[in-house]
Amino acid sequence: MEKQEIRTFGRRHGKKLSARQNLLIKSVLPTIKPTKIPANTGLILEIGFGAGEHLREISRQNPEKIVIGAEPFMNGVASLLSAITDEQNSIRSEYKNIRVFADDVRDFLRNTDSKFEQIWVLHPDPWPKARHEKRRLLSADFLELLSNHLTNDGEIIIGTDHWEYFEWIEKQAKSTKLVKNIPGLQTIHTRYQEKNKAGTEAPKYMILKLPKH
Ligand SMILES: C[S@@+](CC[C@H](N)C(=O)[O-])C[C@H]1O[C@@H](n2cnc3c(N)ncnc32)[C@H](O)[C@@H]1O
């Protein structure tokens, strides 16, 4: 990350990790970094996967693809690692296609040419106070960065229960080349969605795609 870049996430560390979680971060995380991604393999990215419930679901649904998750909150990364490993601390067979970038996704994207069939961003931090607006991840600049990492038919799938943030993202998207669709998705259950801090009736979703030529 360039030093002057504004941070879009809160904490990197929460409550103390268990001995097993520390072990997994030390011994398993380095083995699933998203380096040397084979060419001609379908790729999916989830940004800010939290504890990784949805990341695990898309990994199981897409065994032939590589599913990359980016998350700087180490307690979330540790929860994911606990869930995808067995008693011997080996990755369970159904999760062998998961790769993890345990930091700011912008650092990952600026250092890869990879193009994704899907980019998921579920419940990005809403930063509701006006003075924090600059911390919102889904700015026009960031959406442009994502658009450079989409396959021709690729989709950015965004969901938030913070309706004001949703409208703000719609405005940001208008100043990019991306085209918006409102999909008929069922509610996608993630840990954050269950908390529904915004107190709204339901999350709203949008899909952004490259224009057809
Ligand atoms: C409100 S939580 C939602 C987590 C999860 N998607 C869910 O729905 O339960 C937003 C997450 O985005 C992550 N995040 C914020 N900025 C990020 C960035 N620049 N790169 C990767 N993840 C980021 C935060 O660390 C946090 O875990």
Note the pLDDT of residue 187.
82
How far apart are the CA of 46 and the centre of ligand 1, in A? 10
Note the pLDDT of residue 144.
97
Domain assignment present for residue 108? The answer is yes
Domain assignment present for residue 156? The answer is yes
Which residues, 6 or more positions from 32, have their beta carbon under 8 angstroms from its beta carbon?
Answer: 91, 98, 99, 100
Domain assignment present for residue 26? The answer is yes
Domain assignment present for residue 9? The answer is no
The answer to whether the pTM exceeds 0.75 is yes
Residue 113 bears catalytic tag: no
Per the structure, the count of domains in the chain is 1
Under-70 pLDDT residues of the chain: 1-4
Domain assignment present for residue 128? The answer is yes
Note the pLDDT of residue 200.
79
Asked if residue 209 has its Cβ within 6 Å of ligand 1, the reply is no
Domain assignment present for residue 11? The answer is no
The whole domain housing 181 covers 19-209
Note the pLDDT of residue 199.
82
Asked if residue 120 has its Cβ within 6 Å of ligand 1, the reply is no
Domain assignment present for residue 125? The answer is yes
CATH code, 130: 3.40.50.150
62-104 pLDDT, tens digit each: 999 999 999 999 999 999 999 999 999 999 999 999 999 999 9
